[in-house]
Amino acid sequence: MIVKTDKEREGMRAASRVVKAALDAAEKFIKPGVTTSEIDAVVEQTIRSLGATPSTKGFEGYPNASCVSVNDVVVHGIPSLQTVKDGDIVSVDITALLNGYQGDAARTFPVGNISDADKKLIDTAQAAFFAGMEYVKAGNRVGDVSSAVQLYTELHGYGVVRALTGHGIGHKMHEPPEVPNFGKKHTGAPLRAGLCICVEPMITAGDWRVFIERDGWTVRTADRSRAAHYENTVIVTDGAPEILTL
């Protein structure tokens, strides 16, 4: 677990601004009829235009600048010629490297006119993130955050994915500690001022179980229910957390 210096935190802020810009560009571009590869191209162009590089491209063999996951794909959807349709929901997960520092965030976006059920799913993922933020404070533990995310999600009738977690972040995309979206209060790694973490609820409209497809990346809900993902890079402080990718 690496507590960041003032200089390092400033580097994290700059990288996170790139990620936010790329998410904004993706949101404006997404509409019925575009392909997931075209969404990825917009993300990559935005990242590179700001002097950064997409961290996922080439990471452990991953081929693209972003993960674009449609409907029942939770995370790590590989961009392709798949066309998104009116009523779909699309999760876009982006990590960018700028001057040696990483920023990471994800959003689930509507495509055209979506159902009330899907809107509620997306809104609940975001609200679960902010439920966790209430406990992101020096002196608390990771389990305090995790249990808050789980409690909020399950009280609203949704599943919490167990197979994937949030994480620390800094010079590397993934650093200690792991930040699960489920757990018990007063357990897990201590939160210290200056620690940078990614909190990222991944929730499902049905069962929480998932499987990985043969491509080794695409994570899909086992019951094919829809999923939503909401993530930000956050700095732990002695008071309210600093959310860098908003």
pLDDT digits (tens, 9 = 90+) for 10-60: 999 999 999 999 999 999 999 999 999 999 999 999 999 999 999 999 999
Q: Can you give the pLDDT at residue 5?
A: 96
Overall residue count recorded for the chain in this entry: 246
DSSP 175-189: EEEEE-SS--TT-SS
Q: Can you give the pLDDT at residue 1?
A: 79
Q: Which helix (H) or strand (E) holds 23?
A: helix 6-29
Question: How many Å apart are CA 139 and CA 190, to the nearest integer?
Answer: 7
Q: Can you give the pLDDT at residue 120?
A: 98
* pLDDT, tens digit, 9 for 90 and up, residues 180-206: 999 999 999 999 999 999 999 999 999
DSSP 110-170: E-SS--HHHHHHHHHHHHHHHHHHTT-SBTBBHHHHHHHHHHHHHHTT-EE-SS--EEE-S
Q: Which domains are seen in the chain, by residue range?
A: 6-243 (3.90.230.10)
One-letter amino acid for residue 208 of the chain: W
The sign of the torsion formed by the CA atoms of 116, 86, 83, 79 equals negative
Mean per-residue pLDDT, 149-171: 98
